[in-house]
Amino acid sequence: MIRVLFVMLLLLTFSNARENPFFPAKGEKEMPYTSNKDLSLPPLKRATITLPSEARVIKKVIVEYKSLDGSIETKSIELQNSIDWHLPIFISQNYAIDTQETKKVVSKRTTKKNFKKLTSFKYGHFFASDKTLKIITKDKIIRNFMLVDPHRIVIDFNRDTSLKTFTKENKNTIFTKIRIGNHSGYYRVVIELDGQYRFKKKKISNGYIFILN
In the chain, the number of structural domains is: 2
Domain stops at, among 85, 109, 133: 109
Given this model, what pLDDT does residue 142 score? Answer: 96
In a domain, 6, yes or no: no
Shared domain check, 101 and 121: no
Rounded-to-integer distance, Cα 54 and Cα 63, Å: 23
Phi-psi region of 58 (alpha: psi -120 to 50; beta: other; left: phi over 0): beta
Cβ atoms of 208 and 135 closer than 8 Å: yes
Shared domain check, 72 and 149: no
Shared domain check, 194 and 123: yes
Given this model, what pLDDT does residue 108 score? Answer: 52
In a domain, 25, yes or no: no
Given this model, what pLDDT does residue 180 score? Answer: 96
Global pTM reads 0.62
Rounded-to-integer distance, Cα 186 and Cα 159, Å: 5
> Domain holding 171: CATH number?
2.60.40.3500
Shared domain check, 50 and 133: no
Given this model, what pLDDT does residue 1 score? Answer: 56
Shared domain check, 197 and 169: yes
CA angle 170, 173, 179 (to 5 degrees): 40
Shared domain check, 181 and 121: yes
Residue-wise pLDDT tens digits, 1-33 = 555 555 555 555 555 555 555 455 555 544 444
Sequence-distant (≥ 6) Cβ neighbours of residue 197 within 8 angstroms: 53, 131, 146, 151, 174, 212, 213
C-alpha gyration radius of the chain: 34
Given this model, what pLDDT does residue 36 score? Answer: 46
Shared domain check, 162 and 124: yes
Helical residues (DSSP H) of the chain, grouped into ranges: 2-16, 95-110
| pLDDT band with cut points at 50, 70 and 90 for residue 42 | confident
Given this model, what pLDDT does residue 100 score? Answer: 58
Rounded-to-integer distance, Cα 106 and Cα 23, Å: 54
Whether the predicted pLDDT of 101 surpasses 50: yes
Rounded-to-integer distance, Cα 129 and Cα 113, Å: 6
**Which residue did the predictor score with more confidence, 72 or 36?**
72
* Pairing mode, strands 72-82 and 57-66: antiparallel
Rounded-to-integer distance, Cα 114 and Cα 35, Å: 61
Of 209, 211, 198, 201, give the one whose Cα is nearest residue 56.
Answer: 198
Cβ atoms of 141 and 208 closer than 8 Å: yes
Residue-wise pLDDT tens digits, 164-191 = 899 999 988 999 999 999 999 999 999 9
Shared domain check, 121 and 192: yes
In a domain, 29, yes or no: no
| pLDDT band with cut points at 50, 70 and 90 for residue 45 | confident
Domain range for 52 is 43-109
What mean pLDDT comes out for the span 145-165? 93
What mean pLDDT comes out for the span 141-149? 95
**Which residue did the predictor score with more confidence, 39 or 94?**
94
Domain stops at, among 109, 130, 162: 109
